[in-house]
């Protein structure tokens, strides 16, 4: 069996970049960071750091629409929010 890392090509305003699926340890750390901030914290900062770790160029997060961020998070985590 051959395992290959999953990479997604993302296009935003004629710019292309790649995001990869997180490693198990990275997903655990992301979840721990969300739990640490609690309800009063800034989840956006945690999501930004997570997406940048996975390949999102620095500075792009702030230019995204909220729905774009949601789509990216659903894609890399494999979960969909209802």
CB atoms within 10 A of CB 71: 14
Does residue 80 carry a pLDDT above 90?
no
Average the pLDDT over 58-73 and give the result: 93
- The alpha-helical segments, DSSP class H, found in 1-82 are 24-37, 43-53, 66-77
In angstroms, the CA 26 to CA 14 distance is 29
pLDDT band at 77 (very low <50, low <70, confident <90, very high): confident
Instruction: Please state the pTM of the whole predicted model.
Output: 0.86
What is the average pLDDT value for the chain, to the nearest integer?
Answer: 90
């Amino acid at each position: 069996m051959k395992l290959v890392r999953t990479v997604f090509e993302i296009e935003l305003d004629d710019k292309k970049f790649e995001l990869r699926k997180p490693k198990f340890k990275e997903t655990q750390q992301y979840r721990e960071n969300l739990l640490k901030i609690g309800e009063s914290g800034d989840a956006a900062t945690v999501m930004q750091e997570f997406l940048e770790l996975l390949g999102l160029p620095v500075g792009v997060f702030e230019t995204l629409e909220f729905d774009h961020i949601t789509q990216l998070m659903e894609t890399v985590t494999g979960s969909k929010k209802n």
